[in-house]
């Protein structure tokens, strides 16, 4: 990576955003990237609005200080609880030419392509569900044409973070939450995995999801949306350096990150420890 370069920043509370980074890098390998996982303070899903906003703001400022002109919050919880505040409160005073984008809007925009019944289910963290960001964003694009039902899955992130995805406990909680969702609305035909950790539970999720249901996995959708965004905003695109490098940062031990992150990213990676 060259000095004075402008990588695209990708932020998550922990490892989950690596599933998004993987799709982005597969689709847009030409850019430089910095991934930042706030592993020391994960999970964000059960934290208050103010805490998620403050932690996310610190991470974004760190990525800006490292040259990022564009930061993607590859975390639904941070997108739900911090994105709007950062865009409205922090960017104008700091540098209005920088951009921070989230993962909720791109995921929601695809919904009308998939649902036939007009009934959509959201699986997410408690924080994402309580924020009502998905129902609000879906209402913006569809009026009130789409019925949205949410199910908070507070055990799923800890199962993934603790590498317990093959434990029978994972089957228990995945089945329980999926059954709850369909008990609330049996007409759901489209489900969004509204947490970047959840693709790690995909085999278990597919075991319990009714087979006629379309599952929306955010990685490819966010990657497509970023490509489209960069095409529509050449002034931002020109500012993104193109050296095909990826740098990984963690707020926890770099050794722990190295031993776990490969599972999410699909290949071994090493990281540097930083503080926020
Ligand atoms: N990966 C985050 C998300 O997409 C959740 C993890 C957490 O609770 O910190 O919502």
Domains of the chain with bracketed CATH: 8-103+220-273 (3.40.50.1860), 105-218 (3.40.50.1860)
Evaluate: CB of 195 within 6 angstroms of ligand 1: yes
Helix (H, G, I), strand (E, B) or coil at 107: helix
Is the CB of residue 75 below 6 angstroms from any atom belonging to ligand 1? yes
What is the mean predicted confidence (pLDDT) over 25-33? 97
In which band, very low, low, confident or very high, does the pLDDT at 100 lie, cut at 50, 70 and 90? very high
Confidence of residue 4 (pLDDT cuts 50, 70, 90): low
Predicted confidence (pLDDT) per residue in 51-81, tens digit: 999 999 999 999 999 999 999 999 999 999 9
Residue 122 has pLDDT above 90, yes or no: yes
CA distance 115 to 131: 23
Residues across the chain: 276
CB 252 within 8 A of CB 235: no
Expressed in angstroms and rounded, the spacing between residue 33 Cα and the centre of ligand 1 is 20
Rounded to two decimals, the pTM is: 0.92
Mean pLDDT over residues 212-234, rounded? 95
Distance from the alpha carbon of residue 72 to the mean position of ligand 1, in angstroms: 14
Ligand 1 within 6 A of CB of 194: no
Helix, strand, or coil (residue 71): strand
How much is the mean pLDDT over the chain? 93
d(CA 15, CA 161): 8
């Amino acid at each position: 990576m060259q000095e004075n370069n402008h990588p695209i920043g990708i932020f998550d509370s922990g490892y989950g955003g690596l599933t998004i980074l993987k799709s982005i890098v597969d689709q847009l390998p030409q850019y430089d990237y910095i991934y930042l996982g706030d592993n020391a303070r994960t999970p964000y899903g059960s934290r208050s609005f103010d805490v998620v906003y403050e932690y996310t703001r610190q991470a974004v400022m760190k990525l800006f200080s490292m040259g990022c002109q564009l930061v993607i919050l590859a975390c639904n919880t941070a997108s739900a609880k911090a994105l709007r505040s950062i865009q409205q409160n922090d960017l104008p005073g700091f540098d209005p030419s920088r951009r921070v984008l989230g993962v909720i809007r791109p995921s929601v925009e695809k919904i009308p392509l998939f649902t036939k019944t007009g009934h959509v289910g959201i699986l997410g963290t408690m924080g994402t569900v309580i924020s009502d960001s998905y129902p609000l964003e879906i209402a913006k694009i569809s009026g009130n044409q789409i019925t949205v039902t949410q199910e908070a899955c507070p055990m799923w992130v800890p199962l993934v973070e603790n590498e317990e995805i093959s434990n029978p406990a994972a089957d228990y909680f995945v089945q329980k939450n999926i059954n709850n969702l369909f008990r609330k609305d049996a007409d759901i035909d489209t489900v969004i995995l509204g947490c970047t950790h959840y693709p790690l539970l995909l085999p278990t999720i597919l075991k319990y999801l009714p087979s006629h249901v379309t599952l929306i996995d955010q990685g490819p959708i966010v990657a497509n949306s970023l490509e489209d965004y960069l095409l529509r905003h050449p002034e931002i695109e020109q500012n993104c350096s193109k050296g095909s490098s990826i740098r990984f940062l963690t707020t926890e031990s770099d050794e722990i990150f190295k031993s776990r992150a490969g599972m999410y990213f699909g290949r071994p990676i090493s990281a540097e420890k930083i503080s926020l």
